[in-house]
Amino acid sequence: MIKVSIMEAQHNLSKVLQRVEEGSSVYITRRKKVVARLVRAETGEKVIFPDFGKRARTTWGKKWTGSSSDELLDADRGER
């Protein structure tokens, strides 16, 4: 069991994560009270992210026909 303060974890995050990858449990403390525990992730665990592309296609269709960002900036700036 390894205990580190929040500040130590922020400043040495790569070292803390290395210890977690090696199999150690790391306890994060705030004012000497444990507020979190970092443990190694299960291997083979697949993370499923939302399909934001599908949501955008459902909302706006397949092709965006609005103005490009360059066109909007040029129109906003006018002649400078």
**What are the tens digits of pLDDT across the range 11-56?**
999 999 999 999 999 999 999 999 999 999 887 778 888 999 888 8
What's the CATH code, domain 2-38?
A: 3.40.1620.10
3-state secondary structure the chain: CEEEEHHHHHHCHHHHHHHHHCCCCEEEEECCEEEEEECCCCCCCCCCCCCHHHHHHHHHCCCCCCCCHHHHHHHHHCCC
Taking alpha carbons only, the member of 10, 1, 15 closest to residue 30 is 10
| pTM exceeds 0.85, yes or no | no
Residue ranges of the domains in the chain?
Answer: 2-38
Q: How far is CA 4 from the centre of its chain?
A: 22
